[in-house]
Structure 1
Amino acid sequence: MLRTAAMMQPYLFPYLGYFQLIARSDAFVLGDDLQYVKSSWINRNRILVNGQPMLITFPLRKGNQGDRINQRWLCDDFSRHTDKLLKTLERAYARAPYKVAVIELIRQILTYPERNLARFTEHSIRRICAYLQIQTPIRIGSELGLPARMDKQERVVSIARKLDAELYINPIGGMELYCPAFFRAHGVVLRFLRMADLSYPQLHQPFVPSLSIIDVLMFNSQSDAQALLKRFSLVEGIEQPAMLQRA
C-alpha cells in the first residue's frame, strides 16, 4: 500500500470527514501557516438544536488581513463563551446517549489554557483523535520549513515529499484546486476522499448530515464512531491542463 499523506487547516470540532482523512493517512499535517479565512470553518461549526442545525462560533481577537492561522488568537473573554457553549450543548444533547462522556471531553478541550488559535485547535484535534483511537502522526505545517509563499499545488507536493508519501489525499470539496497530472509529474498519486452517504439516530428526528464531530460523538459509541471512520471512498480527480504549467 502506498504511503499516504494529507493536510488540512486546523478546524475546531470539524465534521466526520476531517477525521476520516486523518485516520486514512500515514501522516497528517495541520496547515497552521496557511492564511486565516474569515467566515470559514476554522473557528466555527454546526451542532443540532431541536432537530435543526445551529452555527456555533469561537470568537477571535481582531486581526489583520493576510494573517496566518497561527497568528490569530481566541478572544480575551473566551472562557465566558465556552461556558455559554457548554450550557447550549448540555441542553441540546440532554437526551443523547453518550452525552456525559462527550460533554466532559469537550469541557477538557475548551478549558485548555492556550489562546493561540492554531495551538488550541491542534490540542482539540489531538484529543478527539485519542478518543477515537486514531493513531496517525500529526505534523505541524510551520515546522516543515517550507517557504511562506508557494503555489498551492507546489506546497502540497513538497509536503508529500518531506513525508516520503507516494499518495496524497484531499477532501472531495477541493477537487477543482488540484490536478492529478501535476502530482503524477512529481511522483505523487492524487486522490480525493468522498464520504459515504450515512446516517445515525438523532433522537427520532429526520437526520441532519454534515454536522460537527460533536454530533457524531453524542449519538455514537466510540466503537460505532470508529466504524463510521471507514465509510468513505477514494476517487480520482479531474485533469486540468491549465494547472500543469508549473510541473
Structure 2
Amino acid sequence: MTLAIMQPYFLPYIGYMQLMKAVDTFVLYDDVAFINRGWINRNRLLINGQEFMFTVPLKDASQNKRISEVHLADDPKWRSKLLKTIEQGYRKAPFYQTVMPLTEKIVNFTTDSIADLVHFGLIELNQYLGLTTELVKSSSIYDNVALKAQERILDICRQTGATQYINPIGGTELYDKPTFAEAGIQLNFIKSKKVEYHQLGKTAEFVPWLSIIDVLMNNDVPAVQTMLDEYELW
C-alpha cells in the first residue's frame, strides 16, 4: 500500500494533486501547527492575464494552534467574493460551465473549519477527476501527536500498513531512506515535470503552478488526468 502525508491545501496546485493520484491513501496532516502565509488557506488564480492571490479568511489563526483547531472567519461574504472573482476571471474559459458548479459546491460547503473545508474540496476534486485515492485526516485516526518529524511519519506508515511512502521532493533532507527500509517501507520523492497548457487570457509567458481551478477551467478531464501522471519518482 502506498501512502502520502501532506498538510491540507485549499484548491491546491497540480503538483499536490499528482501526489494524491500517486498513492492509495493520502493523509491530510491537520493536527500539526498552522503555518501563517502558507498554502493552507490561499492559492493563486489567473485574473485578466495576471496572477491573483486569493485567501480564505480565518479567525485567530496562529502557529500556536493545530490546523484542525483553526476556524474560518465569521464573515461569510468571502465565499461570494471569491466566487465572483473566479466567475469574472474564467467565465470565458472552455470548461467554465462544468467546473464553476464544482467550484461553487466546494467554496459554499457549510463548515467553520479550514481543515474540513479542504478535506471536502479534495474529495470533490478526486471524484471529478476520477481518482480512487482514500483521503483521511490525521486528527481523526492516528493518536500519535507526541511523536515528532520522521518518527511520526513512520508510525502513520506502520498503522496504515504502508509498504511505500511518497513525499514531495522538497523533503529529501527530512527523511532517511535506510531508516524507512529498516521498517520495511520504501521511501520515494515525487518531482513534478513541466506542465503547460493554454491559459485563458495569457498570450505571453505561461504562469505555472496556479490553483487546480486554473487547470480545470482550461482543460477537460482526460487532459488533466494525463497531466497528473507528469512526474518522476526518486
**Category of TM-score, reference length = shorter chain:** over 0.9
Distance in 2 of aligned mates of 1:223 and 1:17: 17
**1:85 matches 2:85:** no
Give the 3-state SS of the residue equivalent to 1:14 in structure 2: coil
| 2:196 paired with 1:202 | no
Partner secondary structure for residue 177 of structure 1 = coil
| One-letter code aligned to 1:47 | L
Q: How does 1:87-166 map to 2 (within 5 A)?
A: 87-166=84-163
Q: Deviations over 1:71-99 (max 9, x none)?
A: 0001001x311111111111111321011
Alignment partner, residue 172 of structure 2: 175
1:45 match: 43
How many aligned residue pairs are there? 232
Distance across 1 between alignment mates of 2:103 and 2:34:
24
Shift of 1:230: 0.8
- State the 1:174 CA deviation: 1.9
* Partners of 2:142 and 2:159 within 8 A in 1: no
User: Which residue of 2 is the match for residue 23 of structure 1?
Assistant: 21
Cα separation, 2, equivalents of 1:165 and 1:178: 16
- Contact preservation (8 Å) 2:163, 2:186: yes
Q: CA deviation at 1:120?
A: 1.4
Q: What is aligned with 2:220?
A: 221
Alignment check: 8 A CA contact 1:146 1:155 kept? no
Deviations 1:87-121 (A, max 9, x none): 11111113210112111111111111111111111
3-state DSSP of counterpart to 1:215: helix
Q: TM-score, normalised by structure 1?
A: 0.90
Deviates more, 1:144-153 or 1:191-200: 144-153
| CA–CA distance in structure 1, aligned partners of residues 79 and 139 of structure 2 | 28
Q: Which residue is 1:230 aligned to?
A: 229
Cα distance in structure 1, aligned partners of 2:151 and 2:185: 12
Question: Alpha-carbon deviations, 1:177-225, whole Å to 9, x = none?
Answer: 2121221222211111111112000135221101110111011101111
How many Å separate the matches in 1 of 2:142 and 2:233? Answer: 29
Query: 1: CA distance between counterparts of 2:72 and 2:217?
Result: 25
Runs of at least 4 residues off by over 6 Å: none
Q: Gaps spanning 5+ residues in structure 1: where?
A: 236-247
Inter-partner Cα distance in structure 1 for 2:64 and 2:117: 20
How far did 1:63 drift? 3.6
**Correspondence list, 1:63-74, <5 A:** 63-74=61-72
Aligned residues with identical type, % of pairs: 40
Structure-1 separation of matches of 2:105 and 2:77:
15
Query: Which residue is 1:241 aligned to?
Result: none
Give per-residue Cα distances to partners, 1:126-180, cap 9 Å, x unaligned: 0111111111111220122332232210111111111111110011122222121
Give how far 1:64 is off: 4.4
Unaligned runs of 5+ in 2: none
TM-score (ref. length: structure 2): 0.95
For structure 1, which segment, 144-153 or 187-196, has the greater mean C-alpha deviation from structure 2 after superposition? Answer: 144-153
SS state of the match for residue 181, structure 1?
Answer: helix
Query: CA-atom RMSD, angstroms?
Result: 1.3
Match of 2:31 in 1: 33
